[in-house]
Copies of this chain bind each other. A is one copy, B any other.
């Protein structure tokens, strides 16, 4: 007789509820592949009687998740509440201390407390798995930890947030404003109805970058504040001008080792229309890895939603049932080190600068003189007058310059009354 593996699901929102159904649907399949019988022994959420898409068995419902750990003693616990601290952290901690395997899609929790929690898992000889925390259904974590285990990875980057990628694609296709498209994204369930800020300002993607760095470079999770910019300042105008220039705007997350130092960033990038990354549209995510001897590898798939997330959660379960992997980050915690952060001031890019100005003599030369003073040379300049309002839009594509240089250069435009707003800056990627 095989022992039945007891499973607990903590959190019954969109993901938890879908997972509940998937586990019941795929029991047989999991049993065939792993040789182990599974059973959902307990579920927990704030509200027992909330209307849910897939009905749950109320006999196994508990308000208090800690009670589940102590009383039911599950073998595997899914944490799908999603807070980066608070009850999520407490549940995961308590479970690991009680020798319970934990699976979570919680990028906030892992990017903040991943080092501590993975040590806890190792000390208690159980697994802490978080495949679903980065890029939804794409098995990127398993690929780095196992598929490319012996490669020396030098760079990981890509589109890591489906919400912002949908908004940028949809603005381009529908020629509609940021505000309207955001509303559409919310009504379709792609963006949080209440507070979409963490998607829009790059925070969500940055959490994923941190997890990817730690895995790819065998380091501790960084706490540096490198460069994080979201898409809130992107206007339809920028997208249309980019289009004319054969470019597209994408929010990229980038993690790279430069001269032995770690550089992590999330910011909007202008990429060529006919590049691979320029053609990843909608809610799709894509991760590109550069390593030796593998060369360049690409993984693309749906980045969000209960389906892809469940796919990753269940792949973690399969790994645990097969007795795989004990180290959450691929190597023992003690072997993972902090590394120095690359100095952002030296980050160097061609830039897209959009100025909104009063259309009168001398304004253009005040801009170009200022750029010249900082040795920033102009590759391309497009001035579009708006005669009615006596305004003009000036777009400048510069040659490569450093962050520190452009920061100093642009500072003056805060006070110039002929320049109607501080210029919009978007970095060109490669």
Chain A contacts to B: CB under 8 angstroms: 18, 22, 26, 29-30, 32-33, 35, 131, 137-139, 142-143, 146-151, 274, 276, 279, 286, 291-302, 306-308, 310-312, 314-315, 317-319, 322-325, 330-332, 335
Q: List 17 A-B contacts (CB under 8 A).
A: A22-B293, A33-B331, A131-B147, A138-B297, A142-B147, A147-B312, A147-B315, A148-B311, A150-B314, A150-B315, A151-B311, A276-B279, A286-B298, A293-B310, A295-B308, A298-B301, A299-B299
Chain A facing B: main interface SS: mixed
CA A18 to CA B279, docked complex, whole Å? 35
Question: Known contacts A137-B295, A294-B137: does B148 contact A146 (CB below 8 Å)?
Answer: no
Whether the Cβ atoms of A302 and B294 lie closer than 8 Å is yes
CA A182 to CA B142, docked complex, whole Å? 37
CA A100 to CA B332, docked complex, whole Å? 27
Choose from B22, B142, B296 the contact partner of A302 (Cβ within 8 Å): B296
Whether the Cβ atoms of A146 and B139 lie closer than 8 Å is yes
Q: A142 — which chain B residues lie within 8 A by C-beta? A: 142-143, 146-147
From A35, A151, A308, residue with most partner B Cβ within 10 Å: A151
* Chain B residue with the shortest CB-CB distance to A151: B311
Q: A150 — which chain B residues lie within 8 A by C-beta? A: 22, 26, 29-30, 33, 311, 314-315, 317-318
Whether the Cβ atoms of B298 and A300 lie closer than 8 Å is yes
Q: How far is the CB of A335 from chain B (nearest CB, A)?
A: 6
Q: A138 — which chain B residues lie within 8 A by C-beta? A: 297
CA A325 to CA B22, docked complex, whole Å? 23
Q: How far is the CB of A273 from chain B (nearest CB, A)?
A: 10
CA A33 to CA B323, docked complex, whole Å? 17
The 5 closest A-B pairs by CB, nearest first: A139-B147, A293-B307, A298-B300, A297-B301, A150-B314
Question: Known contacts A276-B279, A279-B279: does B149 contact A33 (CB below 8 Å)?
Answer: yes
CA A200 to CA B279, docked complex, whole Å? 30
Q: How far is the CB of A175 from chain B (nearest CB, A)?
A: 19
Choose from B33, B146, B294 the contact partner of A330 (Cβ within 8 Å): B33
Q: A297 — which chain B residues lie within 8 A by C-beta? A: 137-138, 299-302
Q: A306 — which chain B residues lie within 8 A by C-beta? A: 293
Q: A147 — which chain B residues lie within 8 A by C-beta? A: 131, 139, 142-143, 312, 315
